[in-house]
Structure 1
Amino acid sequence: METKTDYNKIASAYDERYKSNYLPKVEESLLSIASEKSIRLILEAGCGTGRWLKALTSLNKKLFGLDYSIGMLKVADTEQYDLMLINADACKLPFAKNSFDMIFCINAIHHFPNKELFFSEATATLSQNGIICIYGVDPQIDKDWYVYDYFNEVYEKDLERFPSLKETKKLCELFGLRIEEQMIVEKVYSERIGDEVFSDPFLKKHMNSQLANLSDEEYQKGMERIKYNISVEPETKFITDIKFYLTKARKES
């Protein structure tokens, strides 16, 4: 049985990841799309701490964020940003039909228990000619992350959780959304040798759902495997080679 990440528990430390990797190309892509004149009302599904919504505040759009974790929304709810934040399930969007000109989701769709239901809800909630943008990784394509090698079943669980690009395309087409783009928007690469791996912030248990979902025992076993490999081969390479993809689709008018 899959363990779900308790984001209320890790909310206060969640934004540490952006200090390590701000994903500037993802932000650049999002800003470019959201800048379209026809887009006025924007919803982020799975908005977390509001990192991406805050990046859009300069555009003078009406911004809504939805997340299942109250803890994450409390971090997002700061006075200097004009954001409408809602605690709700992305598979049961509490909005009227044709409400939003743009709905986007960044590295969160793998947390939605029913992807097909999310696309159904999102399509109904989009206005005519509205845009949906899904940003995320595809472990079917990109397998070169050392975490997959040292922590049992993490890769297998990612294959189950993350919709592939092909699956995302099929879901768009299932609900009459016309694909405009499927492309790489950001490449993340790092190579650490031996003990350097322990300086990787993404090796901390709370820094990604892959490790956060492990029991403390499972996490420690993975760390011991890393330490053992280094003791045997001090020059062991620990490679992270991950890409962030965009699927952009439009609701036909």
Structure 2
Amino acid sequence: MRLQQQVAIVTGAARGIGKGIAEVLTREGALVVVSDVDAQAGEACVDALRAAGHQAQFVACNIADAQQVEALFDTVLSRHGRLDILVNNAGINRDAMLHNISEANWDAVIAVNLKGTFLCMQQAARHMRERGAGRIVNIASASWLGNVGQANYAASKAGVVGLTKTACRELARKGVTVNAICPGFIDSDMTRGVPEKVWQMMVDKIPAGYAGQASDVGECVAFLASGAARYINGEVINVGGGMVL
């Protein structure tokens, strides 16, 4: 129970990697505020966590909207008086080759993946600076290094890495750590939609020989959120079975 009595926000936690992160954090004792644009899926996630004996609440939020983000943090702080952990997981993809990406799909991906992460980090930073403690974990992607058909997604995740390192430099002396995790090929709603041939091609690139699970990412988040990781700051950690070296 490394995170007992701690309050965490996990964005995009209704399903997939975010849900896996929420499951691990609650199992470690944290009260997790599940945030997502999908209220039905978010409430279902919270119901499942509570049924397992864990502490969880749902707060709807579109992280690309500054007013909704402010309302999310105001709600959490008014209810609990503190925020110990922020996990910026919410993200979307609108994949296409560079010459075919529409301006609308470029803007949508940047708005959620990069602007949304910034908005949440800004709110968390204001509170954590005053408290002199806190953990921010940003979920980037192995694609930040570049990936065919993902110019918008890769650019947004590279931006998240830059945000992470800058925030580390600004917040470290305030007792706040800011790290990024880059999941590799994870078995999730997003990846299950790819053709079987593409799935196998991706798995073949992984030295471990299999796709990861959302809980693999969650375990890394839990470690970074714990006291054991107090001296780990500004890092970009791959969780991908060796796919990115």
**TM-score relative to the length of structure 1:** 0.50
* Residue 140 of structure 2: aligned partner: 136
SS in 2 for 1:60: coil
* Residue 201 of structure 2: aligned partner: 238
C-alpha distance in 2 between matches for 1:55 and 1:175: 28
* Residue 41 of structure 2: aligned partner: 72
Please say which structure displays the higher CA radius of gyration. Answer: 1
Match status 1:54 vs 2:33: no
4+ aligned runs moved over 3 Å, structure 1: 106-110, 112-115, 163-166, 177-190, 237-246
- State the Cα distance separating 1:72 from its structure 2 match: 2.6
Q: CA RMSD in A?
A: 4.3
SS in 2 for 1:118: helix
CA gap 1:155/1:189 in 2 versus in 1, 3 angstroms: same
SS in 1 for 2:119: helix
* Residue 18 of structure 1: aligned partner: none
- State the Cα distance separating 1:168 from its structure 2 match: 2.8
- State the Cα distance separating 1:159 from its structure 2 match: 2.6
- State the Cα distance separating 1:83 from its structure 2 match: 1.2
Q: Give the aligned length.
A: 170
The answer to whether the 8 Å contact 2:139/2:180 transfers is no
- % identity of equivalent residues: 10
CA gap 1:203/1:86 in 2 versus in 1, 3 angstroms: same
Match status 1:168 vs 2:163: yes
* Residue 108 of structure 1: aligned partner: 91
Between structures 1 and 2, the one with greater helix share = 2
C-alpha distance in 2 between matches for 1:84 and 1:47: 11
Between structures 1 and 2, the one with greater strand share = 1
Selected match of 1:155 from 145, 150, 153: 150
Q: Relative to structure 2, which stretch is displaced further, 179-188 or 73-82?
A: 179-188
Q: Deviations over 1:135-178 (max 9, x none)?
A: 230423253xxxx3xxxxx3112133324464133441475246
SS in 1 for 2:40: helix
* Residue 121 of structure 1: aligned partner: 123
